[in-house]
Chain A
Amino acid sequence: MQDFLELFAEYAPLFVDATWVTLRLTAAALLMAMVGGALVAALAMSRVRPLRWLATAYIGLVRGTPLITQIFIIYFGLVAIVTLPAFWAGALALAFHNSAYIAEIFRSGFQAVPRGLTEAARSLGMSRAKTLKRVQAPLALRTTLPVLGNQYIIAVKDSSLVSFIGMTELFQTSRNMAASTYEPLTAYIVVAIYYLVIVLALTALVSWLEHRLSAHRRPAAA
């Protein structure tokens, strides 16, 4: 235990730096994936059949192949065309991957909005866009938030695979630690603690958001 604590403390500065890399990487990827996911969901719900096919093909391809393969293909493929820092190659690969899952989450959220509410908005004269903004999107967000939070957690942990294209994020830092201390078990337990703290913080954030957005479902204040 003494040894573990000493090693933990010794490596703390490296892991804290790496935590920021992991957080920035995941945040950049998820921001892009939210936009990408919204676009793909829009395609999937489009009235134009070929656009729906396109979305189905994309989602099928992403979900049917390993993330590590996608990371390698995007990294080596993109590097052949443009010079791209590993950070952005990794973020793009994670965004490409998460867009497919988030698209499906968005689609299920929109389909869960009762049709009567959309009809009510339209019958008040609200345009398609205003109905989307004021009724469909807010309600879809409320129903999808728990599932979205789940996807964010998966994305944080999946970002460890970006270590394979040479990024010194959390997981790569633990591999370096294992190599230089000859204590692989300690190194991987240390990194597990960092991931756990990130995920717990993220879970708390999502719960807080859920609570804030569900005022309408709680019993009225007396």
Chain B
Amino acid sequence: MSEQTTRPVVRMRGIVKRFGGTTVLDGIDLDVHEGEVVTLIGPSGAGKSTLLRCVNGLERIDSGTIEVDGEQLSSTEKGLNHLRSRIGMVFQSFNLFPHMTVMDNLTVAQREVLGRSSDEARQRGAALLERVGLGNRADAYPDHLSGGQQQRVAIARALAMDPAVMLFDEPTSALDPELVGEVLDVMRTLADEGMTMMVVTHEMRFARRAADRVVLLADGGIAEQGPPEQVLDHPTSDRGRAFLQQLAEH
């Protein structure tokens, strides 16, 4: 890893997030560098998804700073919209627009946000559908697709915006086991092609094979981080050992 030579695409400093009286994130510092794939793991309630949602402003942070692609995450509506168009987000529950065809799902934001022409947006959409293996489903509605197919469309929809970084929030947790593989395949290809990615996941195989760095969150902080084999096989922190012990028991 060449963390010193590449610039951080995501730079988080002193992130604090509270829900009511509970402090979920307690002063997190985290950089994600260009082309790096970072997976966030940890016990449920550790704030993995919350941290991810802070990156594109779906959750407002109580203190700290976040920069994406050199731009500070602003609190103004306009600034936030602009930055969000540079950050791809893939949700656990896909969240495709059910009243639009697959192609419309892929083109609506290209047209409305990036101002691309209808032709341009469709071309880009078709190319991305081809890439996620769904070139023949452009006219289908999301309800007619399997969960795995829907998630692949959701990935294509985010990629259509040419994002600087892709955020994945437990992208395979809502899928039937036999459909997990096709989504992970797409993500692995993406990682190999050099996409900068932050992935919250319980898929340790993905963490092991595709991640450059594994970050273990616990008790509102980073308990441990490093290359997958180090964090997953030789954890040094008590929290890390406890979490991996729990995983091993399943």
A116 with B97: CB separation less than 8 A: no
B99 contacts across to A, CB distance below 8 A: 138-139, 142, 213, 216
Quick one: CB contact mask for A95-139 with B, threshold 8 Å, 1 for yes? 000000000000000000010110111111111101000110011
For residue A219, CB closer than 8 A to chain B, the reply is: yes
Contact with A along B56-80 (1 / 0, CB 8 A): 1010000000000000000001100
What's the Cα separation between A127 and B78 when bound, in Å? 8
B160 nearest in chain A by CB position = A124
- In the complex, whether A220 has a CB less than 8 A from a CB of chain B is yes
Say yes or no: A125-B109 contact (C-beta < 8 A), given A216-B141, A216-B143: yes
A-contacting residues, B155-174, CB 8 Å = 157-158, 161
List residues of chain B with CB within 8 A of the CB of A216: 98-100, 141-143
How far is it, in angstroms, between the C-alpha of A116 and the C-alpha of B154 when the chains are bound? Answer: 13
Contact A220 to B89, CB < 8 A, known contacts A123-B58, A126-B81, A126-B113: no
| Contact-size category for A | 20 to 34
**Bound Cα distance A119, B108 (Å):** 15
Q: CB within 8 A of B113: which of A114, A124, A135, A142?
A: A124
**A126-B109, A216-B143, A219-B144 known; A120-B97 Cβ under 8 A:** yes
- CB-defined contacts of B89 to chain A, threshold 8 Å: 120, 123-124
Pick the contact of A117: B95, B141, B161 (CB < 8 A): B95
Cα of A138 to Cα of B144 in the assembled complex, Å: 19
Does A217 belong to the interface (CB within 8 Å)? yes
> Separation in Å of the B83 CB from the closest CB of chain A?
8
Contacts of A138 in B (CB 8 A): 99
B77 and A134 form a contact (CB under 8 A) = no
Whether the pair A134, B82 counts as a contact (CB closer than 8 A) is no
Contact of A125 among B91, B96, B143, B161 (CB under 8 A): B161
Chain B residue with the shortest CB-CB distance to A134: B108
With a cutoff of 8 Å between Cβ atoms, the chain B residues found around residue A197 in the complex are none
CB of B97 within 8 A of CB of A125, answer no
CA distance A124 to B89 in the complex (A): 8
- In the complex, chain A residues whose CB is within 8 Å of the CB of B109: 121, 124-126
Cβ-defined contact, B144 with A220, below 8 A:
yes
Task: Report chain B residues within 8 Å CB of A135.
Answer: 97
Minimal Cβ-Cβ distance residue in A for B157: A124
Residue A215, interface by CB 8 Å: yes
Q: Contact at A123–B143, with CB atoms within 8 Å?
A: no
Q: Is the CB of A125 within 8 A of B81?
A: yes
Q: Do B77 and A127 have beta carbons less than 8 Å apart?
A: yes
Contacts of B161 in A (CB 8 A): 124-125
Closest chain-A Cβ to B100's Cβ sits at a distance in Å of 8
Would A119 and B141 be within 8 Å (CB), given that A125-B85, A128-B77, A134-B112 are in contact? no
Task: Give min CB distance, A40 to chain B, whole Å.
Answer: 24
Q: How far does the alpha carbon of A123 sit from the alpha carbon of B89 in the complex, in Å?
A: 7
Docked pose: A138 CA to B56 CA in angstroms: 25
B188, chain A: closest CB distance, angstroms: 23
Q: 22 A-B contacts, Cβ less than 8 Å apart?
A: A114-B95, A117-B95, A117-B97, A119-B95, A120-B96, A120-B97, A120-B154, A123-B58, A123-B89, A124-B161, A126-B108, A126-B109, A126-B112, A127-B77, A128-B77, A139-B98, A142-B99, A216-B98, A216-B142, A216-B143, A217-B143, A220-B144
> Told that A117-B95, A120-B91 touch, could you supply 6 new A-B pairs with CB distance under 8 A?
A125-B113, A139-B97, A139-B99, A142-B99, A216-B100, A217-B98
